[in-house]
Structures are given as structure tokens and as C-alpha cells.
Amino acid sequence: MTATTTGTLRLGTRASRLATTQSRTVADAITAAGGVPVELVPISTEGDRSSAAIAQLGGTGVFVAAIRQALLEGTVDVAVHSYKDLPTLPEPGLTIAAIPPREDPRDALVARDGLTLGELPSGSRVGTGAPRRVAQLRALGLGLEVVPIRGNVDTRLARVVPGDLDAVVLARAGLSRLGRLSAVTETLDPLQVLPAPAQGALAVECRSHDERTRQLLAALDDAGTRACVVAERTTLAALEAGCSAPVAAYAELAEGEDGPEMFLRASVTALDGSDGVRGSITGPPPEAERLGRELAAELLDRGAAELMAASR
């Protein structure tokens, strides 16, 4: 079956509950915008098949390579990714045709007994699979034991009650999409834990030469989200870091005296939490790439490359 003969778009997605929920939301939006039926096509990725840490698997791209290959081969017409999982380099032959409005990009704590991060006793076991979170949690100096974990959202939540951990830290966006916000005991302030570049955003990808699909997807694109994601991911790319590096970046839009303004923050933290650099920059949203490059250059001048090298 092909989209050209049936009119149905085939959407490639990871098979997890979160991935299919995200993809179904995009599929419904495509149908609502263009009247085109969409069929979900589950695809198993290297990251899904292995229980090893992401860094051991090679980090960037382990959740997207198989889906992108299916897209290039014509097995599917559209792919939906958690944008933070994508490598920073573009994939030849493919284009990010839409970035829908993103969910709250902050991290969330799910702790026993309704505790917040500051209320967890010293020595509490906190689970997370992201080096960025590991580094920033250790840097807070709260005496927490940070435990590496893998698995889907439900698997991670089950490690808290009645499991072996006192808390886990997850992306708030995923919990929101799964209807699990009631489990959150604290949404973490970016001043404490800065989110991953593009966290909470979805990337809707298609073949570059597929003009029909590109036009369909264009209706889903949100200009403000795209500007923020471009700034955050340009920072990541300019630091020459991947999604498994202890790098954080978060852009917000606000109304300034001369129109919309972007406030971009980024940080690089040593994996043991002993050191880190953090900076910020403000400018107009259309200059998102420049802002990302300039902020990355500032962090590199202040020792970011050495911190990342030490964390490998």
C-alpha cells in the first residue's frame, strides 16, 4: 500500500505507549487539517531492543535510525520523533516539515510520600537515564544517590511505589501526554535543573521531495516552538555534543519593548556535579541560530569542552 494509490499516509513510530500516543495526536491533527487518513506503522529501533545505557549504544540516533531508514525507503511517508532524540546534523533526503506546539519542556519529580526535591533526605535514591539530569542533580549538593534507569514511563514510575527508589525524574511532557501528571510531586524549576534541548517538542519528518506531504504537514508547524527548538539545538550542535551529553538548553519567548524576544539559557555540567558553566542570551526569534551559536561560543570559552570530555 502506498500513500499515492490509497490516499492514506503511513506514519512511522516507535511502538511504546508514549510514542504511539504522540504519533496518534499528530495523525489526528494531519487528518483534521487535510482530511487525509493516517495509518500508524510501529517500528522497532535499536534503543527499544536494548536495555543498555544510551551512551553505551552510541547515544544520538538510537531511537530514530530505523524509522528514518523506513522513511527513506518509502515504507512509511511520515515519521514522528521526540525531537530531543534526533542527531543535530540533518539527514540527507529528509526534512522536518512540522514542529507542533510543544508541551511544558521542564523536568518533573515523582517521589514517594509526595516529597519535593528539597525534602528528599540525604542518601535518597533518585533514578534517571539522562547524563544531563545526573550531572545537574549531583551539582545541587543535596547528597542524593543518582541511579541510572531505563524503560518506559510506567516501568520507571513503578520503581518508586512500591519499588526500590525514592524518586525518579522524567520529562513532564511525556507524563502530560500519557495523562499521568497526577503522579508528579514537583515540576523542577529550570534554575535547578535546566531541560534538554528540544525537550517536550515533536519533530514531524518526511522525504524532502514529497511536496504533497510537506504541504499537509505545514499546517501543523508552530513558528514559536520552531524558533525555540532551533536556538536550543543550534547551541547543542555548536558545542559538538549529542543527546547523551550533559548539555541543557531552554529558550522562552516573551513580548519585549520592540516585539517578541527570545531568552535562551544553556549549561554544561560535569557528570559528577563538581563543576559547570551556565550562560544566557537574549535576542529576536528570527535570529535563533545566531543566538544559539553565540551562547555556545561563550560556554566553550568558559571551559565547556573540557567538562564534556571529562564526562565521556
Most confidently modeled range among 33-37, 269-273, 277-281? 277-281
β-strand partners of 247: 268
Q: Point out the catalytic residue in the list 85, 107, 166, 210.
A: 85
Element (H, E) at 29: helix 17-34
Count of beta carbons in the 10 Å neighbourhood of residue 21? 14
Report d(CA 108, CA 65) in Å as an integer.
28
Task: Kindly give, in sequence order, each residue whose CB lies less than 8 Å from that of residue 257, ignoring residues fewer than 6 positions away.
Answer: none
pLDDT beyond 60 at 239: yes
Where is average pLDDT lowest: 119-123, 159-163, 217-221? 159-163
Taking residues 119-148, report their average pLDDT. 95
pLDDT beyond 80 at 47: no
Place of cell 519593548: 257
Place of cell 495523525: 27
Whether a cis peptide bond, with omega within 30° of 0, leads into 162 is: yes
- Of the CA atoms within 13 Å of residue 185, those in its CB half-sphere come to 19
- The residue with greater pLDDT, 129 or 248, is 248
Amino acid 259: pLDDT: 87
The model's pTM is 0.90
Measured N-to-C along each axis, helices 288-301 and 223-238 cross at an angle, to the nearest 10 degrees, of: 30
Domain boundaries defined on the chain: 9-100+201-221, 107-187, 228-310
Read off the pLDDT band of 241 (50, 70, 90): confident
Among the four given CATH numbers 3.30.160.40, 3.20.20.80, 3.30.540.10, 3.40.30.10, the one describing domain 228-310: 3.30.160.40
Amino acid 256: pLDDT: 84
Provide the CATH topology of domain 107-187: D-Maltodextrin-Binding Protein; domain 2 (3.40.190)
pLDDT beyond 90 at 219: yes
Q: Is 85 a catalytic residue?
A: yes
pLDDT in tens, 55-108: 444 455 667 999 999 999 999 999 999 999 899 999 999 999 999 999 999 999
Say whether domain 9-100+201-221 belongs to CATH 3.20.20.190. no
